[in-house]
Structure 1
Amino acid sequence: MCLRFKAESLNQQQLIEQFPKSIYTSICQHLFLPIVEKVYLFNGVSRETLLHLVAKMKAEYVPPREDVTMQNEAPEDVYIVVSGEVEIIECEMEKEEAVVGTLQCGDMFGEIGALCCRPQRFTFRTKSLSQLLRLKTADLIEAMQAKHEDNVAVLKNFLKHNKRLKDLKVGGTVMEGGEEDGDPKNMSVNLLDVADTGNAAFLNELLRARLDPDIGDSKGRTPLHIAASKGHEDCVLVLLKHACNVHLRDTNGNTALWDAISSKHHSIFRILYHFASISDPFTAGDLLCTAARRNDLTVMQELLKQGLNVDAKDRHGSTALQVAMKEKHQEMVNLLVMNGADVVDPNAYEFSLTTLNEIVKKREIGHRITVMTDNEPPLKEVEGDRHVGIVGKSCRGIDHPRVSIYRGHPLMRKESSCMEPGKLIRLPGSFDQLINFA
């Protein structure tokens, strides 16, 4: 009676776990290895890794109509169907549940969430009494990373199997016409699609398999170009961690830095600029000169807002102002001069000296003011209570000198390309009044 009570309270997994480890491992191999070998994800994986995975798996019996994993649930486990059937159910808000597929013996589910570190897209529900093998995501990742060849095999199988899934965008470019040759370049192409989706976790797994982080598409755009232009900061950090080249240019001559600033992804630009400027002292000058050459006022303004030195030189020794004058881009010259660019040797270019002098004069004057002398009478009011110059006259006929004040030290304003305007105020009678005005 006692023996029967204890036996009835045990399930298969609890029973075999009570055996010594060597016996437990042998039982797992006998029961589950033939099933695991048929799973698509482990095609071509070494027997050593398969044995390690089998030893980590837990067998479970799940009754019919039971939810194994829920939609939007965290990807903690991967499941293999040993017997029975499991339905794939899509649950959309304000819509009825829809069965989009059925899994049978040898099928797997949960691996997309596990490898991509994203919530489950579907709910998986048993259709009949089912036996499942459960493997923790951490154990799967650990086994993949233990052996490089097995890691590549798993990722290759995963990409090939899911090449038509829209949520991964791994279709179209995956091993087209040569998917059986196992060429690493074919797998590297998928980095472009993964970077485009912003899936940093899966991108990291692909790069851990030693795929080329600098693979380019037909336009020369690398995964870094794509991630920077899309604003996927996590992907940018992953690519930098795997030593991608930040200086590569596409067929249009654009670097990832240019794509980031032109798309106004400022945090990504600052990250890339930090890395690029360490290895290339002409990074700032090249960016500014490129914007000047293309007469791209928007990008130039964004670059100056990021604190780049307006007088930085490119690798040819030219400044942005010199390039703009050479190309006769008047608006660009005006923008650079008004942001403090040094005018050096203006006669060397065919740019109009009259126009240049007017721009420089405008910069130097700022608010137009008149300095009074002892022999010069104060300016009179023009219209009503409006006054011109540094001297105003109140209704009582009292003269009020006026001055222009600016926030910050002049040198600091120039270095930071500060464009904040000043204030025209009446000359205060004391320093305390000046502080109050400011």
Structure 2
Amino acid sequence: MHCSYIKGSFALDILGCFPWDSIYKATGRAEAVRCLVWLRLYRARNILAFFRRMEKDIRISYLFTRVVKLVTVELHFTHTAACAFYYLATTLPPAREGGTWIGSLALGDARYAGFREVGLLTRYVTSLYLAVVTMATVGYGDIHAVNPREMAFTAVYISFSILLSAYLVGNMTALIVRGSRTERFRDRMADLIRYMNRNKLGAGVRSQVKDHLLLQYESSYTRDRIVDDIPVAVRSKMSQTLYLDMVSRVHLFKGCSEDFLSQIVVKLHEEFFLPGEVILEQGTVVDQIYIVAHGCLEEVATGEGGSEDIISELLPYDIVGDVSVVCNVPQPHTVRVCDLCSLLRIDKQSLTSILQIYSKDSRQILSNLLKGRGGTESRGKQLESDIAYLISRQEAELVLGVNNAAYHGDLSRLKGLVSAGADPSKPDHDGRTALHVAALRGYEDIVRFLVQRGANVNSIDKFGNSPLLLALKSGHERITSLLAKHGAALNLEDAGGYLCRVVTDGKVDLLSRLLRSGVDPNCRNYDQRTPLHVAAAEGLHLVASMLVGFGADVLAKDRWGNTPLDEGRRCSSRPLVRILEHATP
């Protein structure tokens, strides 16, 4: 703060304190030195600062403060104009002083031809009178500009007087109507003080609340307050210009995609904090993440008995609250402000919603979090365990989202998830992939997309089903052909047992599709029985005819030595026996 003052207005303040009147006389009344007296006007800004402090002090009447301020502004304006009028008269040679407004002035019996001999108070009051009547544009005619210099200055002065009058009238109207920003600040401060008095809050909390509210008032021209009414697209571009470079340097977001970072910067909010303020407190549940833009903070570990140990110093591009928000754990350390600082804040809900869309960047953030946080060995292991759990949970949720999109035929959502880093071959808890679901439901476009993205066409779920088998079961011939074209196989672990069950259940269409897909009609179950054995035993002559047509062996023997023809004769089904006898070599 001191360095900023030295670099700024310090030199002008020093020059404004110089005794220029004495210097002017000591230098033989040099005109150049006389002009330096005007540097004193720069110090008038201290008066404005004084009134700003009074306006924010709720112990002083706001109406009284504003009225005094307006009167002071008017007096200062007329005083400056009076000095300017007198300066114009005294800068002419003595021989021409009779051609000035004061040199030619005659008021009653008083003559001002030798005005330098007139008393100082009389000259000042006369100049002030001219300034007031000119500003008010009363124009009595008793005193007026005489030479062109004075006329030009009077014209400019009257123009500024109109602006001053508008300023005074506007401020008086605002006092009557109420609702200015300063009044809203005072009302809010008064409400807070009443609240703190009622709840008997301590002096430390009171001071922090007042200081932070005052800082919010003085830093009201931040990006969030100014651009609220600007369209979102324009705000997004502004945010990228302001914050994208800074966010990309934060260790938590290193390696993340540009699209992800662009979404993050849109959700950032700038806040200012005073030295000594606590941003995050140890052991609390945190729902905000802060990025240090300017200033300095410190992480403090609070031990038993209230002892404090400084863990680390946080500088620009550091981040706090990330472990608590991402891992859903209490804040490990207290974060306190050392210097006046500017922080960029993003809330947990916004961050979580963005991470759900950009799953690949979500895993990158977890990896960065694990690399960027040290601490004790036990804490490191705990953090590693938490992050491993989060990664597994994210992967499970991602697989669920992919399978859900495939189940409902939502190709657009599925493309978004895969583009965000989802693995289309990742199985769920039942071993099913999105290709299983899409093949079962009959969504050819989704199956085609998954195959193009490298999905495993031969994956087997916990029930022994492959995508091709599910497509056959459901009768989706186009999907069956598509999968077969890309190398899909049925991969039946017990083909004989499966076909025998299909025959027993009477699923003739499924049997036909399986046989057309290349399943061996002579495959056997655990009793060495073929599907034709089962069909003959059940008297299913149509099924038997189909099996024979696909090359089933009529003389194949099971473990008891029985053939399908033997089963057919025991069944006493004449059509069945004829079919089997006709197929016997």
TM-score, normalising length: structure 1: 0.39
Q: Which has the larger radius of gyration?
A: 2
Structure with more strand by fraction: 1
- Greater relative CO, 1 or 2 (CA 8 Å, sep 6+): 1
Structure with more helix by fraction: 2
